[in-house]
Every structure is written in C-alpha cells, then in structure tokens.
Chains A and B, each alone.
Chain A
C-alpha cells in the first residue's frame, strides 16, 4: 500500500494559490526528495500531510487515513508522521532527553522509564547519548537538529518529513545531520525530504520531485532527472544549483 498518497491537492492562502493540483505517491521505504526554488510550495506540501495546514481541495491519504476525514483525529495522523524543521524547534526549557521523552509520555502514554529507555537508544543512534542532560542552548546547531530527529523518531512514525533540515546549519556541519538521514534511509525508513542538498537527493533519494510555482514540474528517478532533465524550468533550476 502507498504510505502517502496526494491527489489533486489544492491550497491557497487568501488569493495566493500555493499548491495547484499536486499529486504524489510515496511507497513504504522510499526516500522522496523535493527540490525547487524558494516559495514554490515545498513546505506547504509537507504541512498538508500532517494537517499543519488544511487543504482546500483534493485528497491526502497517510497510511490509509484521509486528512480530510473529520473522523480522523489530528493525533492519529501525527503519531504516524514525524516532522523535522529547518529551525529545529527544540523545546528550550527541556533537556535533550526531556525533548525526546515528552511526546511518547504524553501522547503514547508510555511510562517514564520506558520512554527514557527508548529515548536513550535514539539519542545513541544519532550520536548524542552523552548530551542527554544538556539543554538545547548548550548544543550546536547540528546537535540540536539530531536531537530533533530523535524526538520525531520517538513517536515511531510511519513516515518522516524533513523540511530543509540542514539549511540553517553551517556548511561544515550539515554532514552530521545528513549522515543520520542516510542511516535512516538505509534502514528503509519512509522519508519525504525537502532539501537543497543535491548530493543527498541524488545518492539517497529513490524518487525526485521538482516543484515550481505550486506545481510538480517534473518527477522521476533522481539520476535520470539530474542527468537528463526534460522540462525547461528543471534545466534552468538545476543549472543554477549544481
């Protein structure tokens, strides 16, 4: 079954049509990378998937649940969808460990000890076991983003969304975050990744989507698109970023 299926999704903010008829299917284990110029609607696509924005038309089905179905609760969707933001958005008044255990305790109802056990395993996985008791302000950007990834993973989501997870980082430390994302891909985590890291999209992505002006201009196998883009707009964009 398809993990995330968007069909003919439309979204406008006031008179600004941000998504115009977006259709996209992501199967389990796939790494779908979305590239495109700023303002093309990439973040909005991700936000439609976990209902951070509501759609005006079309349909989004996540693991069998429709985002437009009023019987589907927000929490049902959000347990299935982990999200990592450009600005990390860690909770500054909580330690790394508390950031990771909060949602499992409050949303999944795990006991404190169980939640901490899982959290420590995830912090170890992102290479930050020894930083568990630190507050976000005491961590570097790359470390904060890795904690944010562990925090999202702690909900055991079916699909992970990454919204420019490395764009706020200094170039020399993007690698530690991309490394964690590569590890997740290698474990066949289903991922939808909005990124400007063309190397990651090319090597790790199983599917590539190029968006511009609220439409999907081109999609297909990453290698094929990078080597032989069909649409003029794709060619123009790639010649600028590569």
Chain B
C-alpha cells in the first residue's frame, strides 16, 4: 500500500504528463469506488479475462489498490506541503531529481503525511474483514465458519470486534511512537 502510495505520488507530482495522468486516473478511480466492488472484481471478474487469483490474493490486491490510491492522495498533499525552497536548495546543490525526491522531499512529505497515512493503515486493517465476502480466510471469515458450526453469532462477532480492536490498538501505538520519534527535529 505504501509502495503504491510512494510510486503513485511521485508520478502524480512529476513533470511527465503521461505519468501524472495515469497516477491521477488510478487514484481517482480506486479512491471513489467502494473497496468491496474491487474485491468482487478481482475475484469474480478477472478470471473472465483469464486472470485467476486465489481468494486471499485477489482480496489483498484489491485492498492494496484501494488503500494505495488513498495513500497517493495523502502523499501528494504531503509533497506539495514541502516548501519550494527545499527543492531550490536541493537543485542548487546539484542533486538529481531522483535524489531530491528520495533524500529531501519524501522524508519530509512522509512526516507531514504520517497521521493521515496511519489512519489509512488502520482502515486497511479493518477493511480486511471485507475479504471474507469472497471466502478468503481472515478473522471475520473464520468467524462465519464457526457460526455455521455452533456458537451464537452475537458472541462471535463481539470477539471478532475485540480482535480487531486489539490489532488497531497495537498499530495505533506503533504509529504514535513513530510520530513522536520523527517530531524530534521540530519544524
């Protein structure tokens, strides 16, 4: 997801019009359509054109595209928030476009975008529950199997909610400490 976001945001802000157009179209399309549709599409529609993916792979891929598209927009905003003077100073030092992106722009854009990226990561985690719709194994999917066997659904979905809560809680903790670590250098 992050990789999609970084590459996409680089293209989205690049000088090349085709790259920009492609990344914009990609981001707008996936961001503005429901993730469940992507999952169904990847699992049920792609086989029609001969791409057969296992449920888990199809589901993960669809979610990575969806959350990646959101990450593109988050990082684009981050890149645009990097002051122009940073680009100028980096250019004046003779750094290549790629080196500017890697060493100067991305670390700052990433820091600016971190809270929003964190939320995106959490939403990715929660959206994994959607993959159960195509029968892949993840927490909700397992629960459905168990319900089919014997337990009451209320108990089970509460437990599942609990599992997700714990996972999100852990992830938030990691994100918060990363933000604090990056805040070290101020401004």
Q: Hey, which bits of chain A sit against chain B, CB under 8 A?
A: 50, 52, 74-75, 78-79, 81-83, 85, 87, 89-93, 102-103, 106-107, 135-138, 148, 151-152, 155
11 contacts between A and B (CB under 8 A): A89-B88, A92-B187, A93-B107, A102-B103, A107-B94, A107-B95, A107-B99, A135-B184, A135-B185, A148-B89, A155-B93
**Which residues from A are CB-within-8-Å of B96?**
75, 106
Question: B92–A81 contact, CB under 8 A?
Answer: yes
With A137-B187, A138-B186 already in contact, the answer to whether A93 and B93 are too (CB < 8 A) is no
B153 at the interface (CB under 8 A from A): no
Question: Which interface residue of A85, A90, A93, A152 has the most chain B CB atoms within 10 A?
Answer: A93
With A52-B91, A78-B92, A155-B94 already in contact, the answer to whether A106 and B86 are too (CB < 8 A) is no
**Which residues from A are CB-within-8-Å of B92?**
50, 52, 78, 81-83, 152
B85 at the interface (CB under 8 A from A): yes
**Which residues from A are CB-within-8-Å of B94?**
74-75, 78-79, 103, 107, 155
B104 at the interface (CB under 8 A from A): yes
Nearest-Cβ distance from residue A69 to partner chain B, whole angstroms? 17
Count of A-B residue pairs with CB < 8 Å: 71
**Which residues from B are CB-within-8-Å of A78?**
91-94
Count how many chain B residues have C-beta atoms less than 8 Å from C-beta atoms of the other chain.
22
Contact of B103 among A74, A81, A106 (CB under 8 A): A106
Question: B103–A137 contact, CB under 8 A?
Answer: no
List residues of B (91-112) whose CB comes within 8 Å of A's CBs.
91-96, 99, 103-104, 107-108, 111
Nearest-Cβ distance from residue B95 to partner chain A, whole angstroms? 6
Question: B88–A85 contact, CB under 8 A?
Answer: yes
Contact of A87 among B85, B95, B99, B186 (CB under 8 A): B85
Question: A91–B186 contact, CB under 8 A?
Answer: no
Nearest-Cβ distance from residue A13 to partner chain B, whole angstroms? 15
Nearest-Cβ distance from residue A210 to partner chain B, whole angstroms? 25
Of chain B, the residue at the smallest CB distance from A95 is B185
A135 to B184, CA, bound (A): 9
List residues of B (70-96) whose CB comes within 8 Å of A's CBs.
83, 85-86, 88-96
**Which residues from A are CB-within-8-Å of B184?**
135
Question: A103–B95 contact, CB under 8 A?
Answer: yes
Nearest-Cβ distance from residue B133 to partner chain A, whole angstroms? 41
Question: B93–A103 contact, CB under 8 A?
Answer: yes
**Which residues from A are CB-within-8-Å of B91?**
52, 74, 78
Nearest-Cβ distance from residue A136 to partner chain B, whole angstroms? 7
| Per-residue interface assignment for chain B, residues 59 to 74, with 1 indicating a CB less than 8 Å from any chain A CB and 0 otherwise | 0000000000000000
Question: A92–B108 contact, CB under 8 A?
Answer: yes
Question: Which interface residue of B99, B104, B107, B185 has the most chain A CB atoms within 10 A?
Answer: B185
A33 to B108, CA, bound (A): 34
Question: B185–A151 contact, CB under 8 A?
Answer: no
A79 to B93, CA, bound (A): 7
